[in-house]
Structure 1
Amino acid sequence: MTQLRVSIVLFDAFSNMVLACLLEPLRVVRDQNGLDLSWTILTEGDRPVDSSSGITVAPDMLKAEAKSADLVLIIGGDVFRDHHKASAMRNSLDPLIRNATVIAADTGTWILARCGYLNGRKATLHWQLLDEFAETFPDVQVSSDSFVRDGRYWTCGTAAAALDLMLDYIRSRFGPAVAMDAGAMFLHDNARRYGASFPGQSFSFSASSTFKHVLQIMSKTLEQPVPIAQLAQAANMPERSFHRLFLRELHMAPGKYYLLLRLARARELLRHTDLTRGEIALRCGFTSASTLARSFRTHHGISLREI
């Protein structure tokens, strides 16, 4: 079973929204796929810290007692310009991040930079701080991208960017199928209309209306899937261009994405209805329960009985 250990380091006046956008996709991955995934809350100064909205969060343990993590989330808050604590901060962070991928969100990027971790690296943070950040840390290559990956240091600014970044991390570690499931949980309006398996943040915010229209067609035709050639016609583009579009936006072929939508819907029906597996298979475009079961095991690595 895949294992992921996460340490979350919170600083004074951190954003609840940023924390949720980083943590909730991981929670969905754990709950939906039965993975061995856990997290530990740590804080600046090993004391309770208040979020920007006044919610107090206490640490699970002292940072010095925390075990080695695979992923460390650094979530900065409104108090981040104090450079006098840089040495002590680095001493407390070094053991935590030594062998981990580090995601710094909001002003977490500023904290990493003041500790010297980002020297010579590319990074980003909240757009309102980009110019000040560039002046303060000339050794960091400042980017205006929504999120940046440079080696094991990943950085972002807003909550929306944090969600995109986390889904990208999930995609790289667990695969596109798991990332699609996690992203689908966060598109509220279309989830209510088309079902929770409708794709949410699995494609970029800049995706064209034509592309989004094709995704809607897919979500509404799970029982009788439309041929890919017909979907390409609906997008008014050649099949080859249609294929490249999906590779760019979703990192997978359109046929595979269509299949994953059907499997996601099948899982929902298995969990939340009394339909037989045969009935669920037909509702999701499979010829039989055995065909559905084989496909699910192939793409998710577990049997339907494990759902």
Structure 2
Amino acid sequence: MKSVTILLYDGFSNMVLSCLLEPLRAVRDQSQSALHWHIVTPHDGPARSSSGLNIAPDLACKDVIKSDLLMVVSGYGYRQHAKPENLRPLRLLTRQAASIVAADTGSWLLASAGLLDDQTATIHWGVISDFTEEFPKVRPSYERFVKHPRISTCGGASTALELMLAMISEQFGPADAFIASTMFLHDAAQQQSTGRGPNRLEGKGTAQLRQIVNRMVETIETPLSLEELAQQSGLTRRTLDRLFQAELAMSPGRYYQLMRLTHARELSTSTDYDLREIALRCGYADASALGKAFRKAFGHPIRKSRGSRPH
């Protein structure tokens, strides 16, 4: 996946757009890949979000040649958007896309164009009853997201994020999916522990998991063994493994390592520390050990990450 087209309709949710786009931004910045995206609108003018923000398109719909992924993002006003006379841009873009994601009420538009006939799909929970009645040829699902080889669907912001993380893991690997997920999990965990932000993290991340993640953050420079981590959390090693596999589909050791390597990447792009200093700050004995672990996890040397430092 390299080229992403985002089709925005008036009334879209800023939160849904962020949950679709920010994980891709994290992957692009981490891997320094050719991943890129552009925004289009069905009328080629600015799209106005549900909160009144206007986003101008990068190009006209007719100028889109092809897309590896098309994201159809609709919120309020979906019935008007789905009128036959308004579906031409959608039909054009879907024909040129290798795969499609419909978010929020985007499924309503795809169903109106006949693209979901005889398929299982989901939509924002607030309209799923009407959706079921309106489109009898579509098999409605109450799952958080429905992923198919070509067309995937989801509801609101949290489900959009979960779908994107699943797609990133499949397309780019679990390491890049981890990088994207930490934007949300780590920040929420730290804010919760310091009395800031929401009292709980929606979706993945129970109170017990947050406590353990916080302990990992606190011990990045001097990592604990998994036995010590389990003991300090009041768990057996086996229970610790089960907790991480159940909630993050990853072993605690892998998660701990990726957390340290992510921190190393951040230090390499935002500070003037040499690699020896970065290694010590991330719990590695020397620059060589850090370099080997980083290359194995991400497929390129950490020095490549240093080239992305903002000026």
Contact 1:204 1:249 in 2 (8 A): no
1:132 aligned partner:
130
Return the offset for 1:294.
0.9
Please give the alpha-carbon distance, in whole angstroms, between the structure 1 residues aligned to 2:192 and 2:211.
14
Which deviates more, 248-257 or 80-89? Answer: 80-89
Please give the alpha-carbon distance, in whole angstroms, between the structure 2 residues aligned to 1:247 and 1:272.
32
Q: Does 1:242 align with 2:240?
A: yes
Please give the alpha-carbon distance, in whole angstroms, between the structure 2 residues aligned to 1:241 and 1:252.
13
Contact 1:185 1:191 in 2 (8 A): no
Q: Does 1:170 align with 2:168?
A: yes
Give identity over the alignment, percent.
41
Q: Indicate how the Cα distance of structure 1 residues 186 and 207 shifts in structure 2: closer, same or farther if over 3 A, else same.
A: closer
Contact 2:6 2:73 in 1 (8 A): yes
What secondary structure sits across from 1:36 in the alignment? coil
Return the offset for 1:131.
1.0
Contact 1:184 1:191 in 2 (8 A): no
Q: Does 1:95 align with 2:106?
A: no
Q: Deviations over 1:249-297 (max 9, x none)?
A: 2222211111111111112222223333222212211111111011111
Return the offset for 1:132.
1.0
What is the identity, as a one-letter code, of the residue corresponding to 2:88?
A
Q: Does 1:85 align with 2:84?
A: yes
Name the Cα RMSD after superposition: 2.4
1:143 aligned partner:
141
2:269 aligned partner:
271
1:106 aligned partner:
104
Contact 2:10 2:47 in 1 (8 A): yes
Please give the alpha-carbon distance, in whole angstroms, between the structure 1 residues aligned to 2:282 and 2:94.
49
Please give the alpha-carbon distance, in whole angstroms, between the structure 2 residues aligned to 1:26 and 1:48.
22
What is the identity, as a one-letter code, of the residue corresponding to 1:251?
A
What secondary structure sits across from 2:2 in the alignment? strand
Which deviates more, 12-21 or 41-50? Answer: 41-50
The two structures have a TM-score, normalised by structure 1, of 0.87
What secondary structure sits across from 2:4 in the alignment? strand
What secondary structure sits across from 2:222 in the alignment? coil
Please give the alpha-carbon distance, in whole angstroms, between the structure 1 residues aligned to 2:210 and 2:160.
22
Return the offset for 1:84.
3.7
Out of 56, 59, 63, the residue aligned to residue 57 of structure 2 is: 59
Contact 1:123 1:150 in 2 (8 A): no
Q: Does 1:300 align with 2:298?
A: yes
Q: Indicate how the Cα distance of structure 1 residues 55 and 210 shifts in structure 2: closer, same or farther if over 3 A, else same.
A: closer
2:224 aligned partner:
226
Structure 2 gap segments, 5+ residues each? 194-200, 306-311
2:196 aligned partner:
none
Out of 71, 74, 85, the residue aligned to residue 73 of structure 1 is: 71
Contact 2:16 2:157 in 1 (8 A): yes
Q: Indicate how the Cα distance of structure 1 residues 149 and 63 shifts in structure 2: closer, same or farther if over 3 A, else same.
A: same
Please give the alpha-carbon distance, in whole angstroms, between the structure 1 residues aligned to 2:5 and 2:168.
16
2:22 aligned partner:
24
Out of 253, 258, 261, the residue aligned to residue 260 of structure 1 is: 258
Contact 2:70 2:94 in 1 (8 A): no
Which deviates more, 138-147 or 286-295? Answer: 138-147
Structure 1 gap segments, 5+ residues each? 195-202
2:287 aligned partner:
289
Please give the alpha-carbon distance, in whole angstroms, between the structure 1 residues aligned to 2:232 and 2:154.
35
Q: Indicate how the Cα distance of structure 1 residues 276 and 60 shifts in structure 2: closer, same or farther if over 3 A, else same.
A: closer
Matched residues, number? 295
